Amino acid sequence: MTRWQHIIPPAVLTLVGLWVCYVSYTSEPAAAFLFPRIVATVFAVLAVWGLASAVLGDGSGNQGISAQMFRNMLPGIVVGAIYIFWAAKGLGFYTATALSTFVLVALYDPAPHNRLWTWGKRFAITAVFVAVMYLLFSVLLNVYTPKEKLF
């Protein structure tokens, strides 16, 4: 395991964290992005802290990310990127959240895909998750969520 395998993942997370933080501070209307700014700032600080730990540490207690682990994570990374860069704004926050959650649950659920009850379970998990997201963001926090074509 090379030193770079310990540094590259937190470096990528730091770049993403700083980009998200920048977007949250430069987006308008400013009042709609108050809560996202708090979350983005905490995310960026933790990402920089993780990068500093990786650069300054010896990495002896960390195994890094293996090729197999990366292959396991890749579908989730692809779904997340589609969600962030297109679906949330293009389809609307709640529709995109429902679709991406359902796809992720279907991809990572070890239950058999040839049984009807497992698809019902996946649908129920998605419905509960989206309901919690709606209650959290729209009702409790009353924050802006991207609204476009569907919701």
Q: Rounded to an integer, what distance in angstroms lies between the CA atom of residue 18 and that of residue 66?
A: 25
Find out whether 88 and 146 touch, Cβ atoms under 8 Å.
yes
For residue 8, what pLDDT is reported? 84
Axis-axis angle for helices 67-82, 93-108 (nearest 10): 160
Kindly report, residue by residue over 60-106, the tens digit of the pLDDT.
Answer: 556 667 788 889 999 999 999 898 888 877 888 888 999 999 999 99
Query: What is the residue extent of each domain of the chain?
Result: 1-64, 66-151
The whole model's pTM is what?
0.69
